[in-house]
Structure 1
């Protein structure tokens, strides 16, 4: 929620506005933003921005940098505490260590965030050297329609929930030239994902990489879903994609067993 109207509808407008500021700064991790920019981009009055940022500086939720504000180290502490409380993350890493230590692929665990976003909770790097950059940082939010994890989760969510997440103008912001750019095209992709039982992403967020994803049921999240994906170079993926998908199914089923759940079919 980043505008004043939405803030007024909130049960706690100050908190909603503070979250809007934090979310905006999270989208610009390398770029400090000043009060004027934060006010313009969030719709929050500048005087309110100054008051909120002052309080968040005191609590180390923000820090000053190059004439603006950036996220503070307290958020890293809170994030680490959150991840330690998520059983799925512990089970994911234990499965990677104990059963799949020599995987070629990079394995990722993610959940749907707000709107059309996916947030990565965990990652296990495989033997295939990848240049993922910032797009797969743990805790980072990226467009779900550009990732296999996100597509698998969107395909598994309810029609009502999906509709709430879609932009009214039907347009989607591309990351690369291969990215999905319209809601109509996304619907087609989600139908194909449901039909085959897994999602595919090819160079839609990082050129030269291919990713396969599966959604897993979990009782520990409000939407009941968590996604598992394999990422590797397009050259490696083209060698034997059916074997990769079979291994992904095996991994996802083993993960589902560990958390007492099952795959989305």
Structure 2
């Protein structure tokens, strides 16, 4: 990396970062945003927010309502997601395996990618009981509270895991969401020993998930497969007996290509 005296990255384009910050402002909302809201969310001046928003609109990455003068993400953003999935080495390989599992077992199954302390659902084969947010690819979730996230954190080195668990601000999605760092470390140590993770009632009450990392021989796994079920039909003993062997077979098959 080219670094100037004082540690500044000479290749980092700060104006581009500010423009991308404006697009990222839409991550936390399903609503359209006006210029005042965009400026407040990004820390930009209103005039800078206006210039960036206008540029993104001209390029098709934002759409502007002519009456309200508010912005929402444009269709070119969705197209970028398509290009990402089409070019990702695991997404194409995983899809037929995930579809076969969903058809055979009747459970939702996903391929997740780790991004720091989070996971992002890349390929999803939902069942009919899930909400829209649980059906769409691209959803970001904290790794600590999901079965896929825990399966991936189990492959981190101790220092990296400590850094993830030391970060503040863990959200309690349900009364059962585990947020204590020491308890989470014990959970992840269990995942390391057994090779798979089970998370019950951590994000939604009545939901249970099981996950395993996709082996990436010689490197730290960057992806995991998880299955999601309802607790009224699936308990941990049944999951271990009936689903875990098939889960491990699927992750091995995706890894082999």
Instruction: Name which of structure 1's ranges 95-104 and 243-252 shifts more when overlaid on structure 2.
Output: 95-104
TM-score (norm 1): 0.81
Q: Structure 1 CA distance, aligned partners of 2:99 and 2:211?
A: 20
For residues 135-174 of structure 1, give each alpha carbon's deviation from its aligned partner in whole angstroms, at most 9, with x where no partner exists: 4520121222221111111221234444554564x34112
2:42 equivalent in structure 1: 42
Match for residue 70 of structure 2 among 68, 71, 81: 68
Q: How many residues align?
A: 244
Matched, 1:56 2:56: yes
1:215 equivalent in structure 2: 213
Q: Structure 1 CA distance, aligned partners of 2:133 and 2:101?
A: 27
Match for residue 233 of structure 1 among 230, 234, 246: 230
1:138 equivalent in structure 2: 137
2:256 equivalent in structure 1: 257
Match for residue 206 of structure 1 among 204, 207, 223: 204
2:186 equivalent in structure 1: 188
2:90 equivalent in structure 1: 88
1:135–1:142 CA contact under 8 A, matched in 2: no
Cα 1:33–1:183 shift into 2, 3 Å: farther
2:126–2:134 CA contact under 8 A, matched in 1: no
What are the ranges of 5 or more consecutive residues in structure 2 without an aligned counterpart?
Answer: 1-7
Cα 1:132–1:187 shift into 2, 3 Å: farther
Q: Structure 1 CA distance, aligned partners of 2:190 and 2:222?
A: 19
2:24 equivalent in structure 1: 23
Q: Structure 1 CA distance, aligned partners of 2:101 and 2:194?
A: 26
TM-score (norm 2): 0.83
